[in-house]
Amino acid sequence: MFSRLHATLALAALLFTGVACTKADPPKPDRVVAPSDHVAPAPEVPVEAVQVLQRTFDLKDSVVVPFEIPPHALQPHLHGAFASFVGGAHGASDTSADIDFLILNDDQHSEFADGHASDSMFSVEASHNQAVNFDLPPAMSRPVKYYLVFRNSSGGKAHKVVEASFRVDF
């Protein structure tokens, strides 16, 4: 009986130890932590602005203003405004002063310079006063060239004056 008691106690001790070891396992989390939970806000990056155009000029046929976006510009944004007049700066500004405005990339500008009809990234037709806000595609590892084109609208007065101010933020 003594050995039977020892055997029973030993078995109970083993069972108790097994149960205790199972309960000692670390608790499982209630939810799985996603990698996005560890994302921190990006450091504040200052916005750089470049003046593309700030002038008044005569427009008989067309005026092309090239500008460049530096490499690695992720969110270049062109904004500005133009107004066109007949008879001089701040002269008559009505439908007789209408012009066309285009934003072209390099390939589109080549087509335009060759006199071929081409697409444009952005265009305003027959306007004498226009505000422009346009997001340009990001520049990757190389600078990207774009062109502002001011073109005398067909059927309008031959000589116009344009006052324009444009800049790019990136």
pLDDT band at 7 (very low <50, low <70, confident <90, very high): low
- For the domain covering 49-169, report its CATH number: 2.60.120
Mean pLDDT over residues 66-95, rounded? 90
Edge-to-edge strands, sheet with 62-69: 62-69, 144-152, 99-105, 122-127
Residue, of 101 and 22, whose pLDDT is higher = 101
- Asked if 170 and 78 touch (Cβ cutoff 8 Å), the reply is no
pLDDT at residue 133 in the model: 97
Query: pLDDT tens across 91-130, in order?
Result: 778 888 999 999 999 999 999 999 887 799 999 999 999 9
pLDDT at residue 42 in the model: 44
Would you kindly state where each structural domain of the chain is located, as residue ranges?
49-169
Report if pTM > 0.75.
no
DSSP label of 92: B
Q: Does residue 10 carry a pLDDT above 60?
A: yes
Q: Does residue 69 carry a pLDDT above 80?
A: yes
Q: How far apart are CA 61 and CA 153, in angstroms?
A: 9
Mean pLDDT over residues 6-21, rounded? 61
Helix, strand, coil percent content, the chain, rounded in steps of 5: 20, 40, 40
Query: pLDDT tens across 28-39, in order?
Result: 666 676 665 655
Residue, of 13 and 77, whose pLDDT is higher = 77
Q: How far apart are CA 150 and CA 152, in angstroms?
A: 7
